[in-house]
Amino acid sequence: MPSALFDQISTSRLSTGLELLRNTLRPTPHVQLAMKGMDLFAKLEYVNPVGSIKDRPAYWILKRAAERGEICEDTTVIESSSGNFAAALASFTHLVGLRFIPVIDPNISGTYESFLRRICPTVVKVEDRDDTGGFLKTRLQKVKELCATIPNAYWTNQYGNPDAVEAHYELTATEICADFDSLDYVFIAVSTAGTIAGVSRRLKEHYPNIRVIAVDTEGSAIFGGTPRKRHIPGVGSSIVPPLLSQAEIDDVVLISECETVEACRELLTTHGLFVGGSSGTAFAAVKRYAARIPAYKYPTVLFLCADRGTPYLDTVFDPTWASRLE
Ligand SMILES: Cc1ncc(COP(=O)(O)O)c(C=O)c1O
């Protein structure tokens, strides 16, 4: 028997699937936006195969876990996510032949819930709010219960997994370094802090003078505020994410949800970019920050567009929904 064919047949679905994924996750493009006083670029992370920046940690966490022998063909992957990370994990675990149980909450967009229910045999939806008024703590408690009862369960733990940081260090940031000869500012919306931790560390090595601006939403607890009800997923958190301590941050900008809505609309109508809430939040921060940058500097500025606008059609892009925000 020809050895190449034999190798292919004997190689497990897990490792061939991971190999396939590595080839599918191609570098994402960036585009320049017209903006006074700076060269402004947006990196379009929605071009990733499942549609968001979370494809990168989803792939990398599975790859690293497989390399360490922590997951095998009998593993059930479990994760708390109400959006992009669950969608990425659902697709990738399906491809590599693993079971996946997403733990979601009522804030999930209808699009994501339908998607997860189409491809995951089991979806667990928590209904009880935690002491912050959100659902994160309830979801994490449910994940722990499932891990304790399901044989060969593996919790990808997006809030504390150092492989998520490594994913952005190795993939997202490496692409940025290859694309830009110089970079003065990068604006990154934060939730689990995996992106900002990995990207900031790599960019600070490559561009020693770069300023990393963390962007958060009002009502988030990440940078010390009291958590309160928020409505736009993907940015902010009701806890301080453990990965935040690995990030190298120069400044923080807090954006209200109303500003996010306005910025998303401006990106669509003025710049032709149909992007999600965290992209608008980052763009709003760039605009606010621009006033502080001396005109003579004319910096090169980058912000990340983490996902597309489609899942936000009934929220951020719905004027009736938006009019109810304080
Ligand atoms: C749309 C979107 N933007 C930004 C982020 C923030 O990334 P991180 O969790 O790495 O801080 C997320 C995380 O889920 C997201 O879904």
DSSP codes joined into one string, 120-134: -S--EE-----TTSS
Name the residue at shortest CA distance from atom 2 of ligand 1: 234
Between the two ends of the chain, the Cα-to-Cα distance in Å is: 69
Ligand 1, residues 79, 84, 89, 255: which to mutate, most atoms within 8 A of Cβ? 84
Q: Report whether CATH 3.20.20.70 matches the domain 8-50+163-321.
A: no
CATH number of 55-155: 3.40.50.1100
Is pLDDT larger for residue 150 or for residue 131? 150
Residue spans in the chain of domains classed CATH 3.40.50.1100: 8-50+163-321, 55-155
Q: Are 309 and 264 in contact (CB under 8 A)?
A: yes
**How far apart (Å, rounded) are the C-alpha atoms in residues 254 and 251?**
10
Q: Are 38 and 301 in contact (CB under 8 A)?
A: yes
Q: Report pLDDT digits (tens) over 151-207.
A: 999 999 999 999 999 999 999 999 999 999 999 999 999 999 999 999 999 999 999
Q: Are 237 and 222 in contact (CB under 8 A)?
A: yes
- Atom nearest to 192 CA in ligand 1: 9
**How far apart (Å, rounded) are the C-alpha atoms in residues 280 and 56?**
21
Q: Report pLDDT digits (tens) over 246-293.
A: 999 999 999 999 999 999 999 999 999 999 999 999 999 999 999 988
Centre of ligand 1 to C-alpha 199, Å, is 13
Q: Quick one: residue 193, left, alpha or beta (phi over 0 = left, psi -120 to 50 = alpha)?
A: left
- Atom nearest to 83 CA in ligand 1: 16
DSSP codes joined into one string, 212-231: EEEEEETT--TTSPPP----
pTM: 0.94
**Is the pLDDT score of 125 beyond 90?**
yes
